[in-house]
Structures are given as structure tokens and as C-alpha cells.
Structure 1
Amino acid sequence: MSDRLKTLLETRPVLLADGGMGTGLFALGLTTGDSPELWNVEHPERVAAVHKGFVDAGSDIILTNSFGGNRLRLKLHELQDRVGELNRAAARVARAVADVAGRPVVVAGSMGPTGELIAPLGSLGADEAEEAFAEQARALAEGGVDVLWIETMSSAEEVEAAVKGAARTGLPIVTTLSFDTNGRTMMGVTPEAAVALAHRLPQQPVAFGANCGTGPGQLLATVLGLKAAAGPNDVVVAKGNCGIPEYKDGHIHYSGTPEIMADYARLARACGARIVGGCCGTTAAHVAAMRKALDEGEAGPVPDISTIAAALGPVVVPGAAAGEAEPRAERRRRRG
């Protein structure tokens, strides 16, 4: 079992993860409808360039280009029989970049959702989901990842299936959910329920938290909820999108500047996150600004919702009416 992540957590107050792999690949020519995972064998140098950008910007953790690498997602591209090949390649590309960084860099095997609903809400059996995740996890482990990073989940059932599958490798596990629906996940999981889930999983995650979502402000409101329910030794992850997603000219754009993401990183640390990173829209330039922000001084006081909203944008507290946001945040968004 790799202890690289555990060692860094024991020696550093906060670790910096990477940004958006998809964002980096789109900038290098990936088009909508392409399989990012196929680039691990067709354009490995481009995938490596995205990883290197994040490492050079100061990331302590990089996630492999394997988010959609389970057979159920790869089936959309008729690649379901290449799970092993594509995930091993994803791990090896990231490993090669990390190993020449000149400092410890954790390689995390990204494992995203299947895109299916698990029974009784859908037709996917829990055992079938577990097998799909186990297949992906084995390949990532064979490729040399340090930890398996289960991310962007919305249901407790899928998290449990993913963890059971990943646990077969013996590698450490990190889990994050996406809280993007009125302060909850799409399937209704609250931050408090997410902590309870993490504590009852068959293998205790090294860290758990939130990623993606609707904006960095909303994500940090979730982190406050996670910290309020977490135990003293729990490690919380904050990996938020780069500002607020906006649809312009037929594409999704993210409003976050390096300055906004630096504010986000400082506030994430103050909220109690031990692992801070970016998600959709976050480039190496944003990560560099986050690195600088985290390296400057100590964590400030724990911010309240109004402080987070004023700095980063609209925040909905779980249980509030849909669309109910902090007024100061709404004013900031319109100015942007």
C-alpha cells in the first residue's frame, strides 16, 4: 500500500490538488463527444503536458485522466473492452510526470460515476456497479497510482459500490461528492449525511469531501457543513469549480480568475479543508495562484456564509428555498 498521501498529510497542514483535466485537454484539441481516456494512448504527450502544468504550478496531488474510465461510461464510445489498457495508460502517464517532479507528488486514480442509477431507482445492480469499479481500480493500481480517488458522486449507493470495488486493490481511497442541487447532491445527500456515509463505508477513506458543484462559494458552504459533522481526525477535501459556470456562445465558460481562486484557496483552508484543489475550468494559472495563496501566512478565522458569498458568489444553504442566495453574493455576480 502506498503511503505517499498519508505521509504528506502528516507533514503538511494543507495539500494542493490539481485543476480540471478536461479543461486542459479541451485547450489542446479535445472536442465534445471525444473520449478523454482514449487520449491516454493516442495523445499521451498532451495528457502529460496537462499534468506537468499542474505540477509546475505547485500541485501536490494530480488526478489521472480516467474520470470516465469504467466500462459503463466507456461503452458510450464503444471502448468498454479497453478498460484495462486505458486506465493503466492513464496511471502511467501521470506517474511518469510525478516521478520527475523533484518532490513528492501523489498520483490519484480518478474514478467518476457510471452514469447509471443503481437499483431500485435504476436498472444497474449494485454488484454490477461494484465489478465495474473493481475492474477500473485494478488497472489504475497496475499502472502505479498511489490512491484511488472516487469523485463527483451523487448517491450513497454508488459511493458504496465504488469503495467496495476500489478496496479490492488494497490502495488508500478518497471520496468526494458533488453538491449541486439546493446544497445537496442530485440524489439528495446532505453534507451531514455524506460524513455519516464516509464513516460507515467498508474501507474508511483517507479523506472525503466535495468537488465540482455550482461554484467555489457553494462548495465552501458544503465544506463548512462537512466540518461541522466530521470527527477531529477526518481530512476534508475541497475541489471546487473555477467560478460560476455560464453558458456563452454555445459553450460553458467559468467566471473564476486566478485572483478569485486564490481567495477560494485561502477561504477553503480557513474552513478547515486539508486538501484544496480546483475542478472544472481550473487551469495551471489558477493553480499557481492558489499555491501562492496557501503558502502565504496561516489560516484565517473560520468564515461565515456571508463572508464566503461576498468573496466567491451565490450560496444556498441546504434546506433553503431553491434560488435563495445571499444578497451580497448576487450583487457581486451581476457586476462580473
Structure 2
Amino acid sequence: MIRDRLGKELLYFDGGMGTLLQERGLAPGELPETWNIRHPDVVTEIHRKYIEAGSDIVLTNTFGANALKFHDDECSLEEIVSSAVGHVKRAAEEAAGGREVYTALDIGPTGKLLKPMGDLAFETAYNAFKEVMVLGERAGADLIHIETMSDTYELKAAVLAAKENTSLPVFATAIFDERGKLLTGADVPAVIALLEGLKVDALGINCGMGPEQMLPVLKQYLKYSSLPVIVKPNAGLPKQRDGQTYYDVSPEEFAQCMKEIAGMGACLIGGCCGTTPDHIRAMTELTRGMEAKIPEEKSYTVVSSYGQSVFLGEGSKIIGERINPTGKKRFKQALKEHDLDYILREGITQQDNGAHILDVNVGLPDIDETAMMRETVEALQSVVNLPLQIDTVDAEAMEAALRIYNGKAMVNSVSGKQESMDTVFPLIRKYGGVVIGLTLDESGIPSDAEGRVRIARRIIDEAAKYGIAKKDIVIDALAMTISSEPEGAKVTLETLRRLRDELGVHTVLGVSNISFGLPARPVVNAAFYTMAMMNGLSAGIINPSSEDMMRAWYAFHALMNLDPNCGRYIGRFSAASDQAGGAGSISASRNRTGSTLTLKEAIEKGLKEDASSITAALVTEKDPLDIISSELIPALNEVGDGFEKGTVFLPQLLMSAEAAKSAFAVLKERMDRSGEVSEKKGTIVLATVKGDIHDIGKNIVKVLLENYSFDVIDLGKDVPPEKIADTVAEKGIRLVGLSALMTTTVVSMEETIKLLRKTAPDCRVMVGGAVLNQEYADMIGADFYGKDAMQSVRYAQKLFGEGK
């Protein structure tokens, strides 16, 4: 069993498949998976060469084999998967020489973005992965290898499908850019937190970069991961010579880099695009006999969202408490009226005011908590990138939220009651999460610190039975109101100290509980908050809009040298901040909500309903074209600039575009009625080239171009060069955008460009896709290479004479 060898010895993957099939005649647009049926000897031969080169783990030729991507009437999905597994098994029998070779069912991305960014539902993606994985296990695969994932949400769907429907080991790798980010914004710790929470067997990186470029990302993996790390780089960058694609890292150079990577601590190494049996042979010969570095258990406590990770233990974190009906009449009204926009504004305000994590509690007696929790979590994750704390005592609502949550959530809570632990811990084991343990049990809340610490120990010990490590437990020492329990604050502070010093566990408090029934509550709350942080509080559940609480937070971190050079404190309370909103005023200096929200702010925050309603009010007073020029375009430019600088990520960019679209719909209706015409800046044709069925990049570019008032003719995916050329000629198009995600389809992109040069020499061509770079774009004759969607917009603006 491969699990017995993981992390104990160096294991070798194979290399690329698509480029080798191209060399053997795979035509542009032909699906590589069909060769399992049509050319079985060729596929088997490639597997055999990799095994002879020293590969221990060989991937089946099934990267694109799922019902969403594979539509070939001549070859059923079951035939494809069954034959693909069989080819690896046959090659191993012929070439392994008694050495054990593992058949890895290769699972690539669907090629679509999941909702809310795209149109693919989470469970639809899950079912597509499930179908292939069940077929793969039935055919005899030894493990499932999920690779080239650029979105944590799709990654989660694939891992859950594997874990819930098969008994096979699960490996998972993602594709990062040079900043160490996924397409949708996740950093390395966020990906690791998600995958370790879902209990994969090994994790890592593949594709996108050559071995040298992967080193910074690998260092982060090795720093944060407790699991065996996989590294599968490309053979450098794609280039062209005599009309053929090749990669610029030789087998010898590749082997030297992989030796360094193995020496750093990677346990499973191999190759991706452009690597050949020669690359793998050079790698195995140079590294064979190297002692694997056994992965060390890391103690980081991490919660994550699609866009960031938050580490507990680095100062004291702020958990925003405002998305909770307790004591909040207006919030209860919003829940009853299904006013999601109010909830989203509360989330955005807390993020703007400094929260690190958002508590989400939607429990009211007269609503469907499960449905509301699911909808609220999905909606919040479309407009804020903070991790969420799932706050509910309803097990069904808890599981619904954990299943669709994009990241590793905080969970509030479990108690020392056996029934509570029996209910909550299986969910944490299944979905991952950092769970809050309440220091109460069947006998209630102990009146002394000793009793609370004893319950905390019991929670930690019981969690260990489910494989939940202490690092994934945060203990709530429980703040008892001092108006009824005079010793309450002292007991809580002692409990915090002992939990930190004796158990070495992180802590959390609902701070404002301390002052119920007292006048001037903010005074007591802020003083107690400071005392709690001094006694080891890892995270406080507070109102980030409270000036007193935030002043306490900033001052504590400055005083305890947790704010380098008092930078955050100075930035918050400098003279400039005073002028902006009074002496440290939180509410005055932050983004406004409710009726005072501007259209520009609504678009920047991705609030579709607000954008629509604000526009409806504005259009009664202002000219629609003025609104477009003074509100819509500046907002989109602001978000676009942030995206290019790396401060805004794809989900925020797309939700802002959707908000702008909802505003424009109101303006368009008004202009249609009045006879005004919104000036279009030009017409652009977009297409994913022949043979490629990935339309993520194309769809993102389309949304942005339309929001910048360009007309877009979207020809879809797998589009023949002739159709593109005919459309350009018929419509007199000046700009075409071509997308490709797979190495095997870049040839179609080049063919399309060559045809356009003949039939429409004045038409400009911009290209984009994960397998492209500037040098390669130049080689195939493109006029412009768009590294990201916003660059495509900038080029279109320049071409049509608009400027920025």
C-alpha cells in the first residue's frame, strides 16, 4: 500500500503525456483521452517508457475525462477510464521488473468556474468528479491524483468526491502563479489548511512553472505542511522551433533542480508539461538513494477563506460579532425578511474596520436555519475574503455550511457534553475546521478555573480520538457577567492563563458578555479585553466598529511589540486619520453602509442589489451617461488596478463586475425609454481555440470587457479557426481574443492567427491562457499577450483609442 511508503522514502511520478501524444500524431482539437481506445499501444508505450525511466507512480491518461468536458459519442466515459487504468497496469507488468508501480487515476479541473464566480454548481462539479473516481477505483486504480487545480472550491469538490465515494489514497496538487497565489486568490497556507483539513494523503504543486520558479512556493509548502509534499514542475517555458513546441529545460538541468528540491524535503517528485522519459530518467538516476526527509508535524492553527489564511497565535485576532441575531433587533428583522444585502453590508463593514474572521449566526426559531446558513455563507464569500466562523448549535446547519464553505472554517462550537462532542467532532473530521470548545459540560459551567481547564482537557482528548489535533481546537474560557458573578472576570482571566501555560492551546472569548447589566458597557468591555489579551487571549469575538475595543486592540499590540515600529497604531491614529474622521473614529473613517453607500462603493464591494437600487435613485437626478463616467467606470478601474497590483483577487473582481452590470441594466432601461444611446467602444470576438474546452479565462475577459462598454461576440469553446475568421470578416472585427489552457491546443491558436493574417490582416489578436507567456505569444504571431483579464481590457482600450 502506497500509504505505508509516503514520507518515508523518495517516490517518483512520471512526466508529461499530452506533448508526447502530439509527437506521435495527436491532432489539434483531438481529445488525448480518446487515444486510450483508438491508439492503446501508443499510450501503453509512453507509460512503459516512464516506468523504465524509474517512475513509481504513473498517471492514467484521464486528465480531461469527466462528463462536463468529455463528449465523444464513440468512446464512453467508462471505456475511457477502464482502458486508461488497464494501460498503466499492462505497462507495469511489461516493464517494472518486479518493482511495485502504482496506477494513479489522473483528475484535472473541469475547465469551469464554480458559483458564485462562474455558472457551475458545487454539487455538479462534485458529481462529475465522483463519476470518474468510482469508475477508476472499479477499474483497479491504486490512488487518485487531483492536479492542476487553480481554485480551492473546485479542489474541495474533487477531494470530497474522492473521500466520500472511494477508499483510495488521495493526492492533490495546485497550480500557483509567481506570487504564490491561485487564480482565485488563495495563498499557500490556505491551500494546505484546506487539504490537511480534508485529510488528503499528500499535497503539493504542479504545472505553471519550471523547477527553479517553484522553489519559493515549495519553501512555503515545507514550512506549513505536515504531509508529504509533491513537486511536479514543467520542463521550463514553452518555446517554438521549426513550428514545433518545445520546453527550455533539458533533462540534465531538470534533474539537477529536482535533486535540490528533493534535498529541501519534497517526498514525491516528477514532471508535468514538457517533461519526457528522458527528464524522469535523469532525475531518478541522480536522486536514487537520497534519504527522504520525513515530514514534521506542524503546530500552526490556521483558518482560511478562498483568498487568505489567518494564523492564530500571532497577536490576538478579531472575530467580528455583528452577523448574529443575539441582542440585535435590526439583524433579526433582516433574517425574517431575507434581507441578504443588510447581512453582506455588515460583513463588509467589519472587514473594513479590521476584523480578521467573521462570526456567522443566523439561528432564529421561525426561519429555516440550514437553508439560511448555506445561503448566507455563499453570499458572504462572494463579497468578503475573510475566513468565516460557522456559529450554530444545529448539526444539520453546521454540516450544510461546512460542505459548501470555500476554505477551512472556524466552527463555534462544541462543548464538554458527550452528546455535543459525538455530534460535532465527526463533522470536523470530515470537512476540517478549527473548532471552539466551550468549557461547560453536563454539570454546567464550573465556577473556578480548575473545572474549566479540566473540561478543556477532556475536549482535547476526545477530539484526538477522531484524529483532530490540538492545533485545531480553540478553547472558550467563557466570560461571565460581573454584575451577577463578581469573581467572573478573575476566573476567566485565570482560565486563559492556565490554558495557555498548562495546555498550550489557543483561546477565544465573547468579550462583551462580561458587562451585561452594567452602564457604560464599552468602558468595562475595553478594559477587560486588554486584560484578556495580556493573559493570552488568541481571538476576541467583538464589534470591530466599537471605537473603545479597537483602540484597546491597537494599543495592546503596540505596547507588546506585536506591531512592528507601531506601524498599524500610527497608521490608525495619525494626524491624517484624525482629520479624516476625528480622533481615531472608526465609524467615520470607514466605508459607509445602508442608505449612505455610494454607487462607486457598492460596485467596488460587489453588492449587486445595492448597486441596482442606488442607480435607480440616481437616475432620477442625473444623466445616465454621467453616472457611467463618474461612478461605474471609476469603480471598475479602482478594482481593476487592485487586481493588477495583487491586492484584489478574482472573486472580488468578478463580483464587482456583476454589480456594475446590475447598475448598467437600470441605466440601459432608462436610456432605452428616453432614446439615448450608450456609446459602445468597439466590438471584440472572443473564443477558446479548437480542441480546448476550458473557458474560464475567456469568460472572465468577456465580463470585464462588457462592463467597460465593449460589445463582445462570444464564439464559445472548441472553435475552429475558420469560424473565427469568417466571423471577423463578416462583422469587420478589429480585435480577436483567443484562449487556450492546454499545451496540446496552442497549435490551434497558432493556426487561427495564421488564418487571420491571411483573411483579415488589419485585425489584431490578443491571446491568454495558463500555458502561454510573452515569448511564446510572440512566436505564434500574437499582437498582445494578456497575463490576466485586466490587461486584455487595457489593450482593448488602447486599441480603440480610449486610453485608461
| TM-score, scaled to structure 1 | 0.82
Q: Are 1:99 and 1:105, in contact at CA under 8 Å, matched by a contact in 2?
A: no
Contact 2:10/2:290, CA 8 A, preserved across alignment: no
Residue 152 of structure 1 aligns to a residue whose secondary structure is strand
Instruction: Pick closer, same or farther for the CA change 1:79–1:216 going to 2, 3 Å.
Output: farther
Equivalent residues of 1:243, 1:260 under 8 A apart: no
2:260 to 264, 267, 270: 267
Q: Which of residues 142, 147, 159 in structure 2 aligns to 1:146?
A: 142
User: Contact 1:83 / 1:135 at 8 angstroms: preserved in 2?
Assistant: no
User: Per-residue deviation at 1:139?
Assistant: 1.2
Structure 1 88/225 Cα, relative in aligned 2: closer, same or farther at 3 Å? same
Q: Considering only CA atoms, is the larger Rg found in Structure 1 or Structure 2?
A: 2
Aligned equivalents of 1:171 and 1:296: distance in 2?
28
Change (3 A) 1:57 1:124: same
- Please name the residue that 2:187 is paired with: 190
- Corresponding letter in the other structure for 1:84: E
Of residues 202, 209, 216, the one that matches 1:214 is 209
Deviation of 1:23 after TM superposition, in Å, equals 2.0
Contact in 2 for aligned 1:220/1:238 (Cα 8 Å)? no
Give structure 2 stretches of 5+ with no counterpart.
Answer: 294-643, 647-804
CA contact (8 A) 2:10 2:292 kept: no
Structure 1 gaps of 5+ residues are 301-319, 323-336
Structure 2: distance between partners of 1:297 and 1:170:
31
Alpha-carbon contact 1:175-1:209 (below 8 Å) kept:
yes
Which aligned pairs between 1:142-181 and structure 2 lie closer than 5 A? 142-167=138-163, 168-180=165-177
After TM superposition, the structure 1 = structure 2 runs for residues 1-336 of structure 1, keeping only pairs within 5 Å, are 3=1, 5-9=2-6, 12-75=8-71, 78-79=72-73, 82-100=76-94, 101=96, 102-167=98-163, 168-180=165-177, 182-201=179-198, 204-231=199-226, 234-247=227-240, 252-295=245-288
Q: Deviations over 1:230-285 (max 9, x none)?
A: 12xx1000011012223555554210101111112101112211000000011101
Shift of the alpha carbon at 1:218? 1.9
Matched residue type, 1:188: G
What is the CA deviation profile of residues 127-183 of structure 1, one whole-angstrom value per residue up to 9, with x for unaligned ones?
A: 000000000101111211100000000111101111121220111110000113532
CA contact (8 A) 2:267 2:292 kept: no
Query: 1:147·1:172 contact (CA, 8 Å) conserved in 2?
Result: yes
What secondary structure is seen at the aligned counterpart in 2 of 1:62? strand
Aligned to 1:327: none
SS in 2 for 1:238: strand
Secondary structure at 2:189's aligned position in 1?
A: helix
Letter in 2 for 1:148: I
Which deviates the most, 185-194 or 143-152?
A: 185-194
Q: CA deviation at 1:13?
A: 2.0
The letter for the 2-side match of 1:143 is: A
Preserved contact between residue 215 and residue 261 of structure 2 (Cα < 8 Å)? yes
Aligned CA distance change for structure 1 residues 248 and 214 (closer, same or farther; 3 Å): farther
The answer (yes or no) to whether the contact 1:84–1:135 under 8 Å persists in 2 is no
Supply the distance in 1 between the matched residues of 2:93 and 2:219 (Cα, whole angstroms). Answer: 35
Letter in 2 for 1:185: L
Is the 2:211–2:258 Cα contact (8 Å) retained in structure 1? no
* Deviation readout 1:90-145 (Å, 9 max, x if unpaired): 11111121234121011100000000000000110000000000001011112111
Task: State the alpha-carbon separation in 2 of the partners of residues 164 and 299 from structure 1.
Answer: 29
Question: 1:299, 1:117 → 2: CA distance?
Answer: 37
* Most deviating of 48-57 and 287-296: 287-296
SS at match of 2:218: helix
Matched with 1:328 is: none
Residues in 1 aligned to 2:178 and 2:120: alpha-carbon distance in whole angstroms? 23
Contact 2:60 2:105 in 1 (8 A): yes
Distance 2:75 2:157 in 1: 21
SS at match of 1:165: helix
Check the 8 A contact 2:12/2:284 in 1, yes or no.
yes
Does the 8 A contact of 1:107 with 1:147 survive in 2?
yes
182-191 vs 252-261, greater mean Cα deviation: 182-191
In 2, Cα distance between the equivalents of 1:13 and 1:50?
25
Aligned Cα root-mean-square deviation (Å): 2.2
* Kept after mapping to 1: 8 A contact 2:130/2:158: yes
Provide the C-alpha distance between the structure 2 equivalents of 1:299 and 1:7, rounded to a whole number of angstroms: 14
SS at match of 2:185: coil
Q: C-alpha offsets along residues 6-34 of structure 1, whole Å, 9 cap, x if unaligned?
A: 23336x52111100011221121112211
Assess if the C-alpha contact under 8 Å between 2:11 and 2:56 holds in 1.
Answer: yes
Q: With the length of structure 2 as denominator, give the TM-score of the two structures.
A: 0.35
Aligned identity (percent) is: 38
Q: Partners in 2 of 1:82 and 1:64 — Cα distance?
A: 16
The CA deviation at 1:296 is 5.6
CA displacement, residues 8-64 of structure 1 (integer Å, 9 cap, x when unaligned): 336x52111100011221121112211111110111110000000000000111000
1:174 maps to a residue whose letter is F
For the residues of structure 2 that align with 1:251 and 1:262, how far apart are their CA atoms?
A: 24
Letter in 1 for 2:78: G
Superimposed CA distance per residue, residues 171-223 of structure 1 (whole angstroms, 9 cap, x where no aligned partner): 1110000113532222222211111111222xx11100000112111223211
Which protein, 1 or 2, shows the higher relative CO under an 8 Å CA cutoff with sep ≥ 6?
1
Contact 2:238 2:245 in 1 (8 A): yes
> Kindly tell me: are residues 144 and 297 of structure 1, through their superposed partners in 2, closer, same or farther at Cα, counting changes over 3 Å?
closer
Report SS of the residue matched to 1:278: coil
Instruction: Name the CA distance, whole Å, in 2 between partners of 1:149 and 1:299.
Output: 21
Cα–Cα, structure 1 residues 248 and 82, in superposed 2: closer, same or farther, change >3 Å?
Answer: same
3-state secondary structure, aligned to 1:108: strand
CA contact (8 A) 1:94 1:107 kept: yes
Give the distance between the partners of 2:288 and 2:259, measured in 1 at CA.
9
What is the one-letter code of the residue matched to 1:89?
S
Point out 4+ residue stretches in structure 1 off by more than 2 angstroms: 7-10, 78-81, 180-183, 244-253, 296-300
**Corresponding pairs, count:** 294
CA contact (8 A) 1:71 1:79 kept: no
Q: Quick one: structure 1 residues 98 and 81, their matched pair in 2 at CA, closer, same or farther if it must change by over 3 Å?
A: closer
